[in-house]
Structure 1
Amino acid sequence: MSNPNAPPGESPFDLYNERTIIDGLFLGAIAYGVHLTLFIWCFHILLQKKKSGGDYLLMVYVSLLFIMGNIGNGTNIKVGELTFVDDRNFPGGPGLFFATGAGPVGLTCNVIYIINTWFQDGLLLYRFWMFFARMGWYWVILPCLMFLASVALSLILIVMLCVPGITLWSTISINLAIPYWAISIALTVIITACITTRLLYMRYQMRRVMAGSGSEYISVTSMLVESAALYTVNGLIFLVSYAVNSPIQNLALPVLGQTQSIAPLLIILRVLQGRAWSSSSLAKFQTGTDVRFNNTSNTMFQSEDTGPTLTMKSKLTNGSSQSLKEKQSA
């Protein structure tokens, strides 16, 4: 039965598309709430702890993520207001107005979220380097090239979006945006696979030496957080729906703009809580020295020996113990 109060001249698909736009605003606001919570949590820990140079860098990093998240969420909500309130009688309906880019407000939202991707990918690239640099510098060549390609394409996309009449759904924008997001997501997927594989191998080493503590550092949760799987899944949903021009993209894009900040904040939070690998703890693990995890003096950019460590001892049948270094050299 048709709705007598339905807007005239709009098909069921048009109405469905407009519903996804509104629903996407709510989903984006929910994701922003998660972002806000993580920002306050991380910043509180950083304010309370004894700070090093790396901690000040983290404070700047999380603050920039939060500022961009605020601008992105605010402009996204404003786009919704323009679409369904100020310009509700736009020829072709709200859906068509939304597709035009919603003017400077929509442009600001898109540009902010694109720039946010650089920060998210940059942190993942650093974490990848942290896990694999000691295995050889050539490990980071491909991720670095992919990161540079993603930044280059996104810069061109930003320039094109600033041209009057060109929106995110213009043909030239689609031709730039799809490879840009594809490279960014592929970079995350590759880093996801590599870090997860590395963590599985490290868990195997820890279990082999009967490590009784530190299992949470190489747990399933650790793998998901360290690899930014949240962004990967969200990004794939958006990329596929954007490529086929499905209204599902209206649900995924506002959330994606926030998960770009949520994923790195989850990594930072685990590091600050002493529940994730820092550069110093990885160095000690890979060289076979004692590694002890704790909740003091943790920083992502730590290279000194004062960082989080995890002592790993293997119990032998005679009741004695053997360190990881001794067992590896045996």
Structure 2
Amino acid sequence: MALTISTAELIGVFIESLAYGVYLMVFIQCIFVLRKRHSRPSDYLLGTAVSLFILITAHLFIDILRNMQAFTTDEAVPNYPTRYYDTFNTWQNILKSGLYVAVTLVSDAFILYRSFILWGRNYLICAFPFLLFIADIVIGVLWVYTLNFVVLGDNVFADALSVRVKIFSSITLAMNVICTLLIAFKILKIQKAVAHFVKGSGDQVSRLVPIMIESGSVYSALLVVMIVTYTSKSAAIFIILNPMSPIIVSSFSSVIVRVGMGLSHGDSYRANGTVSSSRNNQWMPRVGSRPFNSDLQIYSPSFPHGGVQVQLQQSVHTRADVLPDDLENDTSPHAKRSFLAV
């Protein structure tokens, strides 16, 4: 039996509800981490987290509302759920699509900004991803606008709507892949630059694995599946499209949690018992112990596309259970410090 759009929508909302439950736990942890920090959390971290929560919650609410209307309104009409879901120009469906586009754009802006910061605010390096982002905004608006002209009986897999959905997903995929590679390449470049100055830099290749994951590789994989499913004209696209928003948000909220906890790149943080105090994006391996009153060493590698300065000073051990701000206020002779600003 062929999968119908109404059945796919029903399954998609069920999976979306499960995905939202997972996201809700990630969001609570995200807010908890940002509030527990002694220093004021970065505006872009907090703003992204709250904006995504509002958008994803509204998206789920609209999907549940549509589900209820499809299966409880006009029950006397034969195959009413199929007729309901085949009508794409309703305000509920337009709002739902608009919320999905908004979630995607906020998430894309987040990873684009992280790439921009990591590359030392280099406009040239991030110019192409930024142009893709602008194109994504335009196509996303056209996608939502086109829904007004899709009437009952139109083939949504063959008209202008289909083209714009696939273009929007393809541009988003390209931008996420490019930004992920930019982040991975820059961090690998920094690791190589300081390899002779620090100890315990670790396996560079193994460090790239969580970087690739946190930068949206899971989301990119889902976008590929979504494009392939839509191209094959399968109703299964709605099983993937409905839970896509909470999956996107869970992926990027987990990055915010890691940044806020000091386990990722993008903000001041604690990692492996050491402290990084630069305002811009930083990376902090464990460095070797040196006398507390030793002189400052500065290494400035010649990077043509962004100024990166590595400062190694007063390298010491510290307790792993204290926060960065606690260390900065600790004047005990037993609590020496290590700073690496990138």
TMscore range, shorter length: 0.7 to 0.9
User: Is the 2:30–2:253 contact (alpha carbons within 8 Å) kept by the matching residues of 1?
Assistant: yes
TM-aligned CA distance change 1:27 to 1:267, over 3 Å? same
Query: 1:277 Cα shift?
Result: 1.4
Choose from 7, 18, 21 the match for 1:33. Answer: 21
Q: Name the CA distance, whole Å, in 1 between partners of 2:300 and 2:42.
A: 34
Deviation readout 1:106-137 (Å, 9 max, x if unpaired): 22211111111110000011011122246x53
SS in 1 for 2:264: coil
Alignment-derived partner of residue 154 in structure 1 = 140
Unaligned runs of 5+ in 1: 1-11, 282-291, 316-322
TM-aligned CA distance change 1:57 to 1:194, over 3 Å? closer
CA-based RMSD of the aligned residues comes to: 3.7
Alignment-derived partner of residue 6 in structure 1 = none
Choose from 182, 185, 192 the match for 2:180. Answer: 192
TM-aligned CA distance change 1:280 to 1:67, over 3 Å? closer
Alignment-derived partner of residue 234 in structure 1 = 222
Q: Is 1:175 paired with 2:175?
A: no
What is the TM-score when the length of structure 2 is the normalising length?
0.73
User: Is the 1:203–1:218 contact (alpha carbons within 8 Å) kept by the matching residues of 2?
Assistant: no
Q: Name the CA distance, whole Å, in 1 between partners of 2:301 and 2:288.
A: 8
Tell me which amino acid in the other structure corresponds to 1:325: Y
Tell me which amino acid in the other structure corresponds to 2:238: N
SS in 2 for 1:35: helix
Q: Name the CA distance, whole Å, in 1 between partners of 2:196 and 2:77.
A: 66
Query: 1:192 Cα shift?
Result: 2.1
Query: 1:262 Cα shift?
Result: 1.8
What is the TM-score when the length of structure 1 is the normalising length?
0.75
Alignment of 1:96-175 (within 5 A): 96-101=83-88, 103-133=90-120, 136-163=122-149, 165=151, 169=156, 171-175=159-163
Choose from 241, 244, 260 the match for 2:248. Answer: 260
Query: 1:293 Cα shift?
Result: 3.3
User: Is the 2:88–2:150 contact (alpha carbons within 8 Å) kept by the matching residues of 1?
Assistant: no
TM-aligned CA distance change 1:196 to 1:256, over 3 Å? same
Deviation readout 1:36-81 (Å, 9 max, x if unpaired): 11111111122222343x5344333211110111010111122222
Alignment-derived partner of residue 7 in structure 1 = none
Query: 1:310 Cα shift?
Result: 2.0
TM-aligned CA distance change 1:204 to 1:93, over 3 Å? farther
TM-aligned CA distance change 1:224 to 1:169, over 3 Å? same
Unaligned runs of 5+ in 2: 290-296, 303-309, 311-342
Q: Name the CA distance, whole Å, in 2 between partners of 1:155 and 1:130.
A: 27
User: Is the 2:230–2:237 contact (alpha carbons within 8 Å) kept by the matching residues of 1?
Assistant: yes
User: Is the 1:241–1:248 contact (alpha carbons within 8 Å) kept by the matching residues of 2?
Assistant: yes
TM-aligned CA distance change 1:194 to 1:308, over 3 Å? closer
TM-aligned CA distance change 1:222 to 1:309, over 3 Å? closer
Tell me which amino acid in the other structure corresponds to 2:171: I
TM-aligned CA distance change 1:111 to 1:208, over 3 Å? same
Query: 1:267 Cα shift?
Result: 1.3
Q: Is 1:220 paired with 2:209?
A: yes
Query: 1:162 Cα shift?
Result: 3.8
SS in 2 for 1:137: coil
Query: 1:145 Cα shift?
Result: 0.5
Alignment-derived partner of residue 61 in structure 1 = 48
User: Is the 1:130–1:279 contact (alpha carbons within 8 Å) kept by the matching residues of 2?
Assistant: no
Q: Name the CA distance, whole Å, in 1 between partners of 2:273 and 2:48.
A: 21
Deviation readout 1:210-232 (Å, 9 max, x if unpaired): 6326779935223311x211211
SS in 1 for 2:233: coil
Q: Name the CA distance, whole Å, in 2 between partners of 1:91 and 1:308.
A: 61
Alignment-derived partner of residue 78 in structure 1 = 65
Alignment-derived partner of residue 294 in structure 2 = none
Tell me which amino acid in the other structure corresponds to 1:303: R
Query: 1:251 Cα shift?
Result: 1.5
TM-aligned CA distance change 1:260 to 1:162, over 3 Å? farther
Alignment-derived partner of residue 13 in structure 1 = 2
Alignment-derived partner of residue 274 in structure 1 = 262
Deviation readout 1:236-271 (Å, 9 max, x if unpaired): 211221222212212211121112222221111111
TM-aligned CA distance change 1:275 to 1:67, over 3 Å? same
User: Is the 1:146–1:187 contact (alpha carbons within 8 Å) kept by the matching residues of 2?
Assistant: yes
Alignment-derived partner of residue 48 in structure 1 = 36
User: Is the 1:272–1:295 contact (alpha carbons within 8 Å) kept by the matching residues of 2?
Assistant: no
Number of residue-to-residue matches in the alignment? 294
